Structure 1
Amino acid sequence: MTAGPDGPTEGADPEVSQETSGEAPVDEAVEVPADEEEVVDEAAAEESTEPEQAAEPTPEQQLAERTADLQRLQAEYVNYRRRVERDRAQSRQQGEAAVLRSLLTVLDDIGRAEQHGELTGGFKAVADALHQALKAHKLEGFGAEGDVFDPRLHEALFAAGESPDVQVTSVGPVVRTGYRMGDEVLRHAQVGVIEPASGEAPAGDEDE
């Protein structure tokens, strides 16, 4: 039996009709009972609260954390105090060195007056008092003829020849005295340089 123009042919296979129609079957939504949804929600809520309960630190852990924080703060404070004290000492030393450098020209004048025999009377007393005061600040002069030449302390201005009396490069005539405060060189000594005599044996080494 044949259907009308708009209906399917009678006796036709339903599966064939679906394939020829070009329409895919529609899946029906599966309904979940309300009581099962509540059970699922409660289980999910329990799972979400379990990590929070497990992550909560114990009193011993809290005490250890607070102790570590206090120790870290104490170490930072100790380092801060050391840094402040070191910076303060460096600033004080730099200021003291600047004052002493400004007095070196005065000491040069005193030295020249002494060489010319003009350091007498009250002037000598003042000069001696000044030297004692500066010595209290660890100011020390250096650069004497015959000293071993040291480029860290001496500034060579000229060659003063050779001498059989020296075995190494030595200080010759001193043009200007050098000064240092402790281990810090405030001014290099300006000197002439004497070299050992070439081709001659040092004194005391000749065969008798």
Structure 2
Amino acid sequence: MAHEEQRTPGENPNADEVPAQEPESNDSGSVPQPDLTVDDILGAEQSEAAAEAGASADDANNPYLDDLRRLTAEYANYRKRTEANAAIEKQRATAAAVAPMLTVLDDLDRAEKHGDLTEGTPFATIAQKIRGTFERIGVQSFGEVGENFDPQLHEAIAQVPVPGTEQHTVLDVIERGYRIGEVELRPAKVAVAVGADG
């Protein structure tokens, strides 16, 4: 009868065998990737750079890409022109509505010259509100005493000889000029100082 080895309870019958180890997994449950060396990383970057250089060379020789760039530039220019034209048309429409009311501003200027717009009076308060409304619409005035005469901005309704005058300047503003953006509502009506002979 074969001799049987006596084993203590809990003893592993295959104690001489080394148990197989399962691969360690990280927290996400995936198998860990092999460690990359610096050469591996540099090699990958060089490969990507070479691929990009090749793509750039292909793009440079692609006639369709040139057409696309040209069309993109043309569309950008068209869009800018369209937006600029729309803005000017809006200014012109506002100018057409505002121009008939400029006489109100003229009356306020005359009242101010005559001393009728004393600060704190109801009339002065109304004048301030009216002028503020025009400013919010975008109406800007121009034409000041002492500035150089510009036929593009000023309409000379009188010339006054002034000794020592070397350059034509605005001596008096009869009516202010007004504009909205690039649209001129009217030029400024001015008296111009000119040089006196002798």
TM category, shorter: 0.5 to 0.7
Q: What is the CA distance between 1:107 and its match in structure 2?
A: 0.4
1:186-205 superposed matches below 5 A: 186-199=185-198
Q: Is the 8 A contact 2:153 2:187 kept in 1?
A: yes
In 2, the alpha carbon distance for the partners of 1:174 and 1:66 equals: 61
Q: Which has the larger radius of gyration?
A: 1
The answer to whether the aligner puts 1:85 opposite 2:60 as a matched pair is no
Change (3 A) 1:67 1:110: same
1:168-179 superposed matches below 5 A: 168-179=167-178
Q: What is the CA distance between 1:67 and its match in structure 2?
A: 5.5
Change (3 A) 1:68 1:132: same
In 1, the alpha carbon distance for the partners of 2:82 and 2:138 equals: 24
- What code does the residue aligned with 1:194 have? A
Q: What is the TM-score normalised by the length of structure 1?
A: 0.52
Percent identical pairs in the alignment equals 40
Deviations 1:24-53 (A, max 9, x none): xxxxxxxxxxxxxxxxxxxxxxxxxxxxxx
Greater share of helix residues, 1 or 2? 1
- In structure 1, the gaps of 5 or more residues are 1-59, 200-208
2:115 matched residue in structure 1: 117
2:131 matched residue in structure 1: 131
- In structure 2, the gaps of 5 or more residues are 1-57
Q: Is the 8 A contact 2:146 2:169 kept in 1?
A: yes
Change (3 A) 1:68 1:107: same
1:154-173 superposed matches below 5 A: 154-160=154-160, 162-173=161-172
Q: What is the CA distance between 1:109 and its match in structure 2?
A: 1.4
- What code does the residue aligned with 2:123 have? F
Q: What is the CA distance between 1:125 and its match in structure 2?
A: 1.2
Q: What is the CA distance between 1:108 and its match in structure 2?
A: 0.7
1:14 matched residue in structure 2: none
2:106 matched residue in structure 1: 108
The size of the alignment, in residue pairs, is: 138
Pick 1 or 2: higher relative contact order, CA cutoff 8 A, min separation 6. 2
Moved over 4 A (4+): 64-77
In 2, the alpha carbon distance for the partners of 1:89 and 1:83 equals: 10
Q: What is the TM-score normalised by the length of structure 2?
A: 0.55
